[in-house]
Structure 1
Amino acid sequence: MEETIAGTETAQLPKQRGESLQDTAVRYAEERHWDVFPGTWLIPVGGLQRCSCGEDACAAPGAHPAREDWATVATGSATVARRLWAKQPQASILLPTGLTFDAIDVPETAGFLALARMRRMELTLGPVTCTPDRRMQFFVLPGAASKVPDLVRKLGWPLSLLDLRVLGEGRYVVAPPTRFGARGAVQWACRPTPANRWLPDAEELVSPLAYACGRDARR
């Protein structure tokens, strides 16, 4: 049975029974036309899950790029993706931003508040992830990184006071069902469906997101 996150659609990645990380990465490339690249992975050591990077204090164990030139490895080819994960089947699934989508990143509390508000407003939503470090990423059309700061200022919010950032060119998001060590797996708060294949523009979502982040900051 699939898990759910309160107040959201099905949270876990919709997948076939027994689907591997490789299969999931291939489907992202094949069905969503997202570029993908493999990151680090988890290694069991003495009953604990250690990051393959070797850092004992890794901030995102098993869920970050494994090499500095990761952007050169990212691919939108299902065939190449299958070959990449064949080398390390347990590698995390990372999606570069700034290509087919940007992502607006906010705290989880603000994200769920904004999500409820967006649904009441009947706004078009793209996929939304929820990570074990209590962050949410709203997928929007590319170009958001350059326009969101000005949009937020026009709404009257000082961007420096809001815990809101945009992941654009040169950044990435961690895709479900990648795990952050023992903290759990990245989940879908709004899963990819045929209905949200066409992403919203950042301008459509920035108002409820800024409002929710503003409320979160005043707590």
Structure 2
Amino acid sequence: MAAVGYAEERHWDVLPGCWLETPPGGAPRCSCASPVCASPGAHPTRPDWAGQASGNAVALRRMWHKHPRASVLLPTGRTFDALDVSETAGFLALARLERMGLPLGPVLSTPARRIVFLVLPGARAKVPELLRRMGWAPGSLDLTARGEGGWVPAPPTRMCSGGSVRWLRPPTALNRWLPDAEELLSPLAYACGRDREEAAAPGR
């Protein structure tokens, strides 16, 4: 079970979320049954979800025994924060980061065409000021820092946008120590800025 593995191997808190249901002859829909669900198959099932998340393997097995189709959500702001960018910017930044030899933690790809970089907690609080120092106005880039009160979907979660969440850089012993957001932010901001410019170019 993936949820138990994340708790036992990485000491991450894990949360069971909504899941996809496919009615006979119909398209997949979120188990929350909302016709305007913003994140089908990949959001918490209740408002007090933060207290439901657990790193206890026994508790997690009990949760998934009750809801075996539940999505796997990882709360941010605890053992890690997350930097969330578009797929285009994410792949560009990933290649640049690896060429530069900069440290990387686990990296996720979602069916919503987002790339998510896991970093040390505290990123959400300091990213706006770091971007200002680089000459970027916060909010001008398609770059979101997720911290306390947020979450990211983890494999093998399926989403209505098509397909499943997957690891581009899976959790291993080599990336157990997460990078600070400041180490990754310059390449990420550059990639997001370039993606914005290309999207605004004539003919796009």
The TM-score by the shorter chain falls in which range? over 0.9
Query: How far apart in 2 are the matches of 1:146 and 1:182?
Result: 30
Alignment equivalent of 1:104, drawn from 83, 99, 102: 83
Paired residues of 1:161 and 1:217 also in contact (CA < 8 A): no
Is 1:132 aligned with 2:111?
Answer: yes
Paired residues of 2:103 and 2:179 also in contact (CA < 8 A): yes
Query: How far apart in 2 are the matches of 1:146 and 1:58?
Result: 28
- Secondary structure of the corresponding residue to residue 151 of structure 1: helix
Q: Which residue is equivalent to 1:141?
A: 120
Query: How far apart in 2 are the matches of 1:136 and 1:68?
Result: 26
Query: How far apart in 1 are the matches of 2:157 and 2:7?
Result: 16
Q: Which residue is equivalent to 2:129?
A: 150
- For this pair of structures, how many residues does the alignment match? 197
Paired residues of 2:81 and 2:146 also in contact (CA < 8 A): yes
Which stretches in structure 2 are left out of the alignment for 5+ residues?
199-204
TM-score by length of 1: 0.87
Aligned partner of 1:183: which letter?
G
TM-score by length of 2: 0.94
Paired residues of 1:98 and 1:168 also in contact (CA < 8 A): yes
Which stretches in structure 1 are left out of the alignment for 5+ residues?
1-22
Aligned partner of 1:45: which letter?
P
Q: Which residue is equivalent to 1:8?
A: none
How far the C-alpha of 1:41 sits from its partner, in A, is 1.2
Query: How far apart in 2 are the matches of 1:92 and 1:170?
Result: 18
Q: State, as a whole percentage, how many aligned pairs show the same letter.
A: 62
Alignment equivalent of 2:92, drawn from 99, 113, 119: 113
Per-residue CA distance 1:22-77 (angstroms, 9 max, x = gap): x1000000001110010001222023322110123423221111111100100011
Paired residues of 2:20 and 2:29 also in contact (CA < 8 A): yes
Q: Which residue is equivalent to 2:167?
A: 188
For the aligned residue pairs, the C-alpha RMSD in angstroms reads 1.0
Q: Which residue is equivalent to 2:22?
A: 44
How far the C-alpha of 1:185 sits from its partner, in A, is 0.4
Q: Which residue is equivalent to 2:32?
A: 53
CA distance 1:125–1:49, shift in 2 (3 Å) = same
Q: Which residue is equivalent to 1:35?
A: 13
Query: How far apart in 2 are the matches of 1:75 and 1:112?
Result: 31
Aligned partner of 2:18: which letter?
T
Paired residues of 2:111 and 2:161 also in contact (CA < 8 A): no
CA distance 1:113–1:182, shift in 2 (3 Å) = closer
How far the C-alpha of 1:166 sits from its partner, in A, is 0.3
Is 1:92 aligned with 2:71?
Answer: yes
Per-residue CA distance 1:100-124 (angstroms, 9 max, x = gap): 0000011110000000000000011
Q: Which residue is equivalent to 2:2?
A: 24
How far the C-alpha of 1:182 sits from its partner, in A, is 5.8
Aligned partner of 2:92: which letter?
L
